[in-house]
A and B are shown apart, each in its own frame.
Chain A
Amino acid sequence: MELNINNQEYSFEAEENMPLLWVLRDLLELTATKYSCGIGQCGACTVLVNGRATRSCSTPVSAALNKNITTIEDTNSNTLLQALKDSWVENDTPQCGYCQSGQIMNALALLSQNPNPTDDEILTAMRGNLCRCGTYPRIKKSIKQVIKTNNTL
């Protein structure tokens, strides 16, 4: 099997119904995408598949073949992703950090599709991403900072 991840080709052997999450984590050692609930309830495993936020824990790898997958490890192809990462750092957003890969990727999908979301649209888009540490206020602040910066460019 082959996957295109962050504009790189990866080859591997896997069962067709193996979730994309475990292909990334265990087979390809792209461990920045996180396992937390396994049933698409918490968003920790969020990646982009053809630009759409996707819960990789409940997406069989067969559904991701021949598509563009973006994970938080993507370092050079996406300025919006970099802006989100920078904002996350500037606002000292993470606590334990475990959910934050998924939070950032979900925010990336949101802003890619809707560069200027309202507060309510942010809340609706982000409600699927849980954070047990309770960093929601700073996540919201980080997203809004990116929106504001983009609007003033």
Chain B
Amino acid sequence: MKRRDFFKTSTLASGGFLISAYLPFACNEQMGESESWEPNFYLRVDPDNTITFICSRTELGQGTSVGLAMIVADELGMDFENLKTEFANGAMERYGDLQDTGGSNGLRMLWDPLRKAIATAREIFIVAAAQKWDVEPSSCLSENGFVYHDSSGRKASYGSLIGLAKDLPAPFDIKLKDPSEFKYIGKPVVGERTRMIANGKNPYSINMKQPDMLYAAVARCPAWDGSLIDFDDSKARSFPGVVDVVEVPAVEIQADDFKGGVRSGVAVLATNTWAALEAKKLLEIQWDLGAFSNKSDTDVKNELLAQLDEPRGIIPETREALNLFKRYGKGHSATYCSAYQANTCMEPLNATAYHMGNKIEIWVGSQAPGMFRERISQLTGIPEAAITIHNLPSGGGFGRRFHADFVEEAVLISEKVRKPVKLTWSREDTLTTSKYHPLCIDHWEATFNRDGKVMAIGYQGSTGSTNGFHPYPYAIPMVHYNNIYEREGRLLPRASWRSVYAHPWALGLECFIDELAYLAKKDPITYRIELLDKAEVVEQLMIPWVGDNLYPQKLKETLQVAREKSNWGDTPEGIFQGVSSISYNTSYCSQVIDLSVQNGKVKVHKVTAVMNCGRVINPSQVESQVAGSIIWGLTAALKTQLTVIDGRVQQSNFDSYDLLRMDETPEIEVHLIQSEDSPSGAGEPAVPGVAPALLNALFAATGERIREIPIVGNSQYSIA
């Protein structure tokens, strides 16, 4: 089962996944009154009335922990400043798949169950106080961690009620707060973590220190399919501070590619990180570079392109559209290419593991700590219950920390020395021996009737395997051909990368729609709006990690606002605009990019983005996520790419994989649509639309269709 089938459809349909919020009432029979109590897995109340939100989602900088804490504060009726936040350890039995941080769905997936869990806890404390005072629960109310009895003026803290509350069943009638009662939701709130960060106090896992801990660095096989033949560690061992050198066995990548895929390697263990990193360079290693030792990224590209010329099968449900192609013939077609990319989280991958033989403790910033624990159990044979994953805030994740390989590696090394081991990947490791956003080739075609009206479009591309998600809002029938793929296996292993396959999908779709608008001699926004007006609601509710259908009218609204806010069509001389509009996991985002081109140099002046992500919990964080997504998208569309020669990635650090810098960042204007709908995601939806808006603007400026990103290195253009 694919990982992103987050929860089973049957449990979703029955609302069964809410059970996790209610179960723990049965799990606390041994508590004394002087002890803390967790009325559910999201909340802990201490006898001194300290109230802690236990956040099941990881904080990678996407702000989810703040948004969720705001929901808890509002539902509990307490001051946000008094609510503490702590991150949950990896535990499938407590959170199931709801602990996985991916797909921009933290707030969407927890909005309902979290509110119900917190409201239930609040009501139990009210019932406890009512029993204590022998009054009706309906005559009591709860605020800021206390229960009050209106008419008598009595009050009791939650902490003082633990002894009574912990044995009470939940009342049947749990009322959620009405939005009119929200004190925080919808307002910009700065979380405690921001303060910690500004003072350098955020406890990233890379700061971990345990007694007797060794620091590890690993030299990994530079080609993905290769393996270790032999090594000489005499020079490495003589480096001051080096304690040991051990082999790291390769771990096969699993069918679910979030697991496994540890490369064959050699680990240096030392008394500090620097000694480990330096001594690693002194290892003399012979590698068998494996099946891909002569393969390059251009081979992958050519292989994928060649498959476009082979006879093709289709996804059967799209046969009607294929008949339209048979009737009218192929008209316009275009092929788009997007390069290999790396996540390059600013905090390099790292994990501290202590394999004690009979149990394992791990400190890591993970996007899926529950899944990681399950995986480590599978890998080591130690039962899950004997494995603790302390999940810490991450210095960026963007999908890479959804993959367990770096933790598997740390555990395997610790197993050999029976000591706590902090494994730190060098920046070079994160670029040359990691997992990557794949190179994608995506082909689009259209068929027209005699009047030049588009009758159907077709898609054949490489966005089909894990996490393939193809939101398609337009009222043109579509043929979906079977996917093209690397038939000998991947040259480089895949990692999720902010917005995953929505990135190449949107690149093709939104550029191709632009090309069709041009052929139809229509304004690109008007053309899209006409197609959206004719479109029906797209059913995607049953894709569990998507969670709602796609409403073309919502997408249209973002386009209309973008048209207005960007002064579409009314730009100063020399400034040209391009547009895109995409839906991503039930959020909607339209963007207009303003650019100029002089002497082959492209300068992006402004990006105007309009986002509908349902009810906005924390506008400060959402605005920041949209701006950050745009910078992420611009980096990949303008500048960065990984190339591969003879199985080896050619870029090794920020000198050769140069992210967008402050002086290259355009003005970014973000507009949020006011909505009463349930919140949906904000961390990724603004990524996929950047590249097509950029290329469409470049066409407006030059009349030339560039269909490959990044434009630097793949076109005649450079950046100003």
B512 at the interface (CB under 8 A from A): no
A133 to chain B, nearest CB (A): 5
B163 at the interface (CB under 8 A from A): no
Cβ contact within 8 Å between B200 and A38? no
A29 at the interface (CB under 8 A from B): yes
Residues of B in contact with A, size category: 35 or more
C-alpha spacing A90/B190, complex, angstroms: 8
B550 at the interface (CB under 8 A from A): no
User: Given the complex, which residues of A lie within 8 Å of B240, measured CB to CB?
Assistant: 15
Cβ contact within 8 Å between B624 and A22? no
A113 to chain B, nearest CB (A): 18
The answer to whether A85 and B199 touch (CB under 8 A), given A35-B206, A92-B621, A134-B630, is yes
Pick the contact of B653: A41, A85, A138 (CB < 8 A): A41
The answer to whether A41 and B348 touch (CB under 8 A), given A27-B272, A85-B199, A137-B668, is no
Cβ contact within 8 Å between B624 and A98? no
Cβ contact within 8 Å between A133 and B659? no
Over the window 181-206 of chain B, the binary record of Cβ atoms lying under 8 Å from chain A Cβ atoms (1 yes, 0 no) is 00000001010011111111110101
Cβ contact within 8 Å between B631 and A95? no
C-alpha spacing A89/B201, complex, angstroms: 13
Tally of A-B residue pairs with Cβ under 8 A?
A: 176
C-alpha spacing A122/B665, complex, angstroms: 13
A140 at the interface (CB under 8 A from B): yes
Over the window 369-411 of chain B, the binary record of Cβ atoms lying under 8 Å from chain A Cβ atoms (1 yes, 0 no) is 0000000000000000000000001111110000000000000
B323 at the interface (CB under 8 A from A): no
Cβ contact within 8 Å between A38 and B396? no
User: Given the complex, which residues of B lie within 8 Å of A136, measured CB to CB?
Assistant: 631, 661-662, 665
Cβ contact within 8 Å between A26 and B653? no
Cβ contact within 8 Å between A37 and B654? yes
User: Given the complex, which residues of B lie within 8 Å of A148, measured CB to CB?
Assistant: none
Pick the contact of A100: B197, B207, B345, B655 (CB < 8 A): B197
The answer to whether A135 and B628 touch (CB under 8 A), given A126-B662, A130-B661, is yes
Cβ contact within 8 Å between B346 and A98? yes
A145 to chain B, nearest CB (A): 13
User: Given the complex, which residues of A lie within 8 Å of B627, measured CB to CB?
Assistant: 134-135, 137-138
B92 to chain A, nearest CB (A): 25
B463 at the interface (CB under 8 A from A): no
Cβ contact within 8 Å between B193 and A97? yes
Interface SS of chain B: loop
Cβ contact within 8 Å between A137 and B665? yes
A63 at the interface (CB under 8 A from B): no
A139 at the interface (CB under 8 A from B): yes
A54 at the interface (CB under 8 A from B): no
C-alpha spacing A85/B195, complex, angstroms: 8
Interface SS of chain A: loop
For A15, A37, A96, A133, the residue with the greatest tally of chain B CB atoms inside 10 Å of its CB is A96
B294 at the interface (CB under 8 A from A): no
Over the window 626-649 of chain B, the binary record of Cβ atoms lying under 8 Å from chain A Cβ atoms (1 yes, 0 no) is 011111100000000000000000
Cβ contact within 8 Å between B629 and A134? yes
B62 at the interface (CB under 8 A from A): yes
The answer to whether A89 and B624 touch (CB under 8 A), given A42-B654, A97-B61, A136-B662, is no
C-alpha spacing A73/B664, complex, angstroms: 30
- Interface positions of A from 30 to 47, Cβ below 8 Å from B: 31-39, 41-42, 44
C-alpha spacing A129/B346, complex, angstroms: 11
User: Given the complex, which residues of B lie within 8 Å of A138, measured CB to CB?
Assistant: 624, 627
B71 to chain A, nearest CB (A): 18
For A142, give the chain B residue with the smallest CB separation.
B198
For A139, give the chain B residue with the smallest CB separation.
B662
A134 to chain B, nearest CB (A): 3
Cβ contact within 8 Å between B662 and A98? no
User: Given the complex, which residues of B lie within 8 Å of A123, measured CB to CB?
Assistant: 662-663
C-alpha spacing A36/B430, complex, angstroms: 10
Over the window 58-94 of chain B, the binary record of Cβ atoms lying under 8 Å from chain A Cβ atoms (1 yes, 0 no) is 0011110000000000000000000000000000000
User: Given the complex, which residues of B lie within 8 Å of A41, measured CB to CB?
Assistant: 653-655
For A31, give the chain B residue with the smallest CB separation.
B207
Cβ contact within 8 Å between B628 and A95? yes
Chain B positions within 8 Å of A, measured between CB atoms, are 60-63, 188, 190, 193-202, 204, 206-207, 209, 215, 240-241, 272-274, 277, 343-348, 393-398, 424, 426-428, 620-621, 624-625, 627-632, 653-655, 659-665, 668
Chain A to chain B contacts (Cβ below 8 Å), 14 pairs: A26-B274, A31-B206, A34-B206, A39-B427, A41-B653, A72-B199, A89-B198, A95-B624, A96-B61, A97-B61, A98-B61, A99-B346, A136-B662, A137-B668
